[in-house]
Structure 1
Amino acid sequence: MTTMTVKGPRGRRPGAFRRGLRRNLTAYGFLCGALICFAFFSWYPMVREVLLSFQQTNFVDDPVWVGLENFRTVTEDSAFADAWLNTLAFTALALVFGYVIPFFAAIVLNELRHAKAYLRFIVYLPVMLPPAVGVLLFKWFYDPGAGLFNQILELAHLPALSWLDSTDTALISLVVVSTWMNLGTGTLIYLAALQSIPGELYEAAELDGAGLFKRIWHVTIPQTRLILLVMLLLQIVATMQVFIEPYLLTGGGPENSTLTVAYLMYQYAFNFGDFGAGGALGLMLMVVLMVFSAFYLRLSRDDQS
């Protein structure tokens, strides 16, 4: 006598169907949790900022719609042009240091044969510090009196510098802080990309007589091209939003030489109490970054095809 087995939908056993349904429900549950977090902490603030940029409000009384008045307020401010120029200058300098140095640090770490784990920890250590701690540490380094950097200059019989009080050195001083604080993340990402390159490519290059720099140019950079493009975009987007360094070190001075768009937005909202103008400036920055990102991704896609 033949025993018939009852199957669920599409010929599957009922137990397998229930397990698959339960597994998918768990996955959808985690997905919903992530979507809720994104909606509450990312998407809602962006929508609220768009609305706020067209309103006049102190978050106590009912908001008043003012149209483009907030945009006129920020664009007519004499600090508006300084903030954008400083932000662009900071981004350019951060690309020179914060984008190039981690890549070559990763190459050096990848070539080492001893103490690699220890050196990776040393490089990544600044990332583990709270940002405020790292910035305040450099505030002591930059102290015009007993600061570490001026002590080093004194030992080298060089004149002391007013690192944060001079318009010539203030902005580059902030770039140094930002580069040091973010060096570890970029280095480890590049290091992971380097370790995925087949060793046969380097062996073939060596057999062809390629030196270190030729191997980097003809093997390392082409093989890590995708991650380099992604990191370039992330670097630009992050540095265009620089805030904590000017906030804690210079307050936008001296003479607005370190005033950035994000810090000016903070001043409008929390120092002047003009949340609408702060929202308008934030919306401008968001639109600029969105347009740049779309244009950059389009060029990258066309270049890869």
Structure 2
Amino acid sequence: MSARSLTPAPDVRPRTDGNTPGRTDAAPAGRPVTPSRLRRRVRENLVAYGFLAAGVICFALFSWYPIVRGWLLGFQQVTFAQPAQWVGLDNFRRLFEDPLFVTAWRNTGYFTLLALVFGFAAPFVTAVVLNELRHGRAYLRMTVYLPVMLPPIVTMLLWRWFYDPGPGLFNNVLEIVHLPAQQWLESEHLAMVSLVLVSTWANMGTTTLIYLAALGGIPGELYEAAEIDGASIRQRLWHVTLPQMRFILMITLLLQIIGTMQVFIEPFVLTDGGPDNATVTVLLLLYRYAFVYNDFGMASAMSTLLFVVLGTFAAGYLRLTRAKEG
């Protein structure tokens, strides 16, 4: 048997042009477009641009326009009693002169810090525990996600009963174990911690499911190799699980900080900013400017500042994480 040649044989098939009968391949680029083909192309493009225009219009009306309008209101004096008047930076100057402005930012930062201590670790630990279970995993997943499906106002009213200083659940439990009752929402030292516990319980379900999905995507061979090498559970968690979930953890950390900096419903329903302004947050103060003091210019200025702070933080955080990955 003769050896196969390494040099390909020349192509001796006859070449055909566009005028050859029976040709089935695409027409050359210079071929003129018939009126029917032109009408079909125009019709297809019009449909595509129609769908695109609908999305752009929806975003412009319900997202971009309110953002731009809110920025402009921050430089105007707007009330129900009189038309808008341009005041420049006067709203921002009055914001910095308000004693509650610094208090609101300090309380919001404190809430965010506590939420990172409790709310960031709790979903990850819960996901790791659920991932190790072999029985009842689906039921426990549903149980963890159940608080997310409850309306926020229902969650707040439920926890208000838990924190009730009289017949509340928590004080009854403390009484059973012979510990003194606590003023959960009436104490300056416990009020913010109580709000963080409510927020963590109500919102951890979604993050837990994200972590469970990420854990399911880690190759089992990595754990098997680590186990063969004699790695303990803590070592497998530190050297396998955390590195594999680094990207998900960074994204959820960024989203949680942005979300907790916009906390509103917990202090609004449970404490109304008290006691003694210990739980006044940025959004709660913004709400008071708009709907209590009837000063939409101040409220828009506050929202603009919050947007700038969160946008700057997000850009710096993404740049820092990208530099570390590089």
State TM-score, norm by structure 1.
0.92
In 2: Cα distance, 1:286 partner to 1:115 partner: 43
Using the TM superposition, give the Cα deviation of residue 116 of structure 1 relative to its aligned residue in structure 2, in angstroms.
0.9
Indicate how the Cα distance of structure 1 residues 17 and 7 shifts in structure 2: closer, same or farther if over 3 A, else same.
Answer: farther
Indicate the percent of aligned positions where both proteins have the same amino acid.
60
In 1: Cα distance, 2:52 partner to 2:154 partner: 34
Mean CA deviation greater in 65-74 or 20-29: 20-29
Partner of 1:285: 306
Partner of 2:324: 303
Partner of 2:295: 274
8 Å Cα contact 2:156/2:269 also seen in 1: yes
Report how many residues are paired: 305
Equivalent residue for 1:252, pick from 273, 277, 296: 273
In 1: Cα distance, 2:137 partner to 2:253 partner: 26
Partner of 2:8: none
- Residue pairs, 1:109-120, within 5 angstroms: 109-120=130-141
8 Å Cα contact 2:80/2:294 also seen in 1: no
Indicate how the Cα distance of structure 1 residues 243 and 19 shifts in structure 2: closer, same or farther if over 3 A, else same.
Answer: farther
- Residue pairs, 1:118-129, within 5 angstroms: 118-129=139-150
SS in 1 for 2:301: helix
In 1: Cα distance, 2:109 partner to 2:249 partner: 20
Equivalent residue for 2:245, pick from 224, 227, 234: 224
Partner of 1:96: 117
Is structure 2 residue 257 aligned with structure 1 residue 209?
Answer: no
Deviation sequence 1:192-219 (CA, Å, 0-9, x none): 0110000000011111111111111100
Could you tell me which amino acid in structure 2 is paired with residue 251 of structure 1?
A: D
In 2: Cα distance, 1:268 partner to 1:57 partner: 11
Partner of 2:192: 171
In 2: Cα distance, 1:48 partner to 1:29 partner: 26
Is structure 2 residue 156 aligned with structure 1 residue 135?
Answer: yes
Partner of 1:47: 68
In 2: Cα distance, 1:153 partner to 1:8 partner: 84
Partner of 2:258: 237
Equivalent residue for 1:153, pick from 151, 170, 174: 174
CA RMSD of aligned residues (A): 2.6
Indicate how the Cα distance of structure 1 residues 18 and 90 shifts in structure 2: closer, same or farther if over 3 A, else same.
Answer: farther
Using the TM superposition, give the Cα deviation of residue 36 of structure 1 relative to its aligned residue in structure 2, in angstroms.
3.2
In 2: Cα distance, 1:146 partner to 1:19 partner: 73
Using the TM superposition, give the Cα deviation of residue 61 of structure 1 relative to its aligned residue in structure 2, in angstroms.
3.2
Is structure 2 residue 100 aligned with structure 1 residue 79?
Answer: yes
Using the TM superposition, give the Cα deviation of residue 42 of structure 1 relative to its aligned residue in structure 2, in angstroms.
2.4
Using the TM superposition, give the Cα deviation of residue 133 of structure 1 relative to its aligned residue in structure 2, in angstroms.
1.0
Is structure 2 residue 204 aligned with structure 1 residue 183?
Answer: yes
Indicate how the Cα distance of structure 1 residues 110 and 28 shifts in structure 2: closer, same or farther if over 3 A, else same.
Answer: farther
8 Å Cα contact 1:109/1:119 also seen in 2: yes
Indicate how the Cα distance of structure 1 residues 160 and 115 shifts in structure 2: closer, same or farther if over 3 A, else same.
Answer: same
In 2: Cα distance, 1:112 partner to 1:16 partner: 61
Deviation sequence 1:211-244 (CA, Å, 0-9, x none): 1111111000000000100001000000000000
Indicate how the Cα distance of structure 1 residues 150 and 225 shifts in structure 2: closer, same or farther if over 3 A, else same.
Answer: same
8 Å Cα contact 1:8/1:17 also seen in 2: no
More helix by share: 1
Name which one, 1 or 2, has greater alpha-carbon Rg: 2
Indicate how the Cα distance of structure 1 residues 287 and 34 shifts in structure 2: closer, same or farther if over 3 A, else same.
Answer: same
Q: Which runs of 5 or more structure 1 residues have no equivalent in the other structure?
A: none
In 2: Cα distance, 1:47 partner to 1:159 partner: 52
Deviation sequence 1:92-148 (CA, Å, 0-9, x none): 100111111101111111111111111100000000011111111101111111111
8 Å Cα contact 1:265/1:281 also seen in 2: yes
In 2: Cα distance, 1:61 partner to 1:131 partner: 35
8 Å Cα contact 1:142/1:164 also seen in 2: yes
Mean CA deviation greater in 205-214 or 237-246: 205-214
SS in 1 for 2:110: helix
SS in 1 for 2:319: helix
Indicate how the Cα distance of structure 1 residues 20 and 304 shifts in structure 2: closer, same or farther if over 3 A, else same.
Answer: farther
Indicate how the Cα distance of structure 1 residues 272 and 116 shifts in structure 2: closer, same or farther if over 3 A, else same.
Answer: same
In 2: Cα distance, 1:254 partner to 1:271 partner: 19
